[in-house]
């Protein structure tokens, strides 16, 4: 039972355009969400997070939107750069527990073409 789903295994965009990566979750207990970027042969690197008390969080070129009623979040990258090419993971956790284990989606491979 996949509680966090990234339905697009891959996405290809042109440099300078917007990249939109999507993520859906099913567990209503999740209230804190994170996006990680992963290059080959490296560990995941944190990009941006959002708490369920917000519907948007922005950090430079990265913006995460959260739609709680639809249990959907998205990561927008504007403008996209070739160095953004990587696998992007959506992750979720419950802030009310005693541990903050992350439940990950399977990732979306983003390719930004020059």
- Give the residue, chosen from 50, 93, 110, 112, that forms a contact with other proteins under the rule CB under 8 A: 93
**Phi, psi for 13 (deg, rounded to 5):** -135, 165
Give the shortest CB-18-to-other proteins separation in angstroms.
Answer: 24
Q: Which stretch binds other proteins (CB under 8 A): 56-64, 69-77, 78-86, 92-100?
A: 92-100
Q: Which residues contact 44 (CB under 8 A, 6 or more apart)?
A: 36, 37, 38, 89
Distance CA 101, CA 114 (A): 37
**Phi, psi for 12 (deg, rounded to 5):** -125, 130
Which residue, 19 or 44, has its beta carbon nearer to other proteins?
Answer: 44
Q: Which stretch binds other proteins (CB under 8 A): 11-19, 41-49, 58-66, 68-76?
A: 41-49
Question: In this structure, what token pair is assigned to residue 44?
Answer: 């995941």
Instruction: Enumerate binding residues for other proteins (CB under 8 A).
Output: 32, 34, 36, 41-46, 49, 89, 91, 93, 95, 97-107
């Amino acid at each position: 039972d996949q509680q966090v789903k990234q339905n697009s295994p891959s996405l290809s965009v042109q440099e300078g355009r917007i990249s939109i990566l999507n993520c859906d979750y099913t567990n209503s207990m999740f209230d804190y969400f994170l996006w990680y970027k992963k290059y080959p042969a490296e560990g995941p690197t944190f990009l941006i997070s959002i708490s369920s008390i917000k519907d948007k969080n922005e950090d430079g070129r990265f913006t995460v939107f959260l739609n709680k009623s639809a249990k959907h979040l998205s990561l927008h990258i504007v403008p996209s750069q070739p160095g953004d090419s990587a696998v992007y993971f959506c992750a979720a956790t419950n802030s009310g527990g005693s541990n903050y284990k992350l439940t990950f989606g399977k990732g979306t491979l983003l390719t930004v073409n020059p």
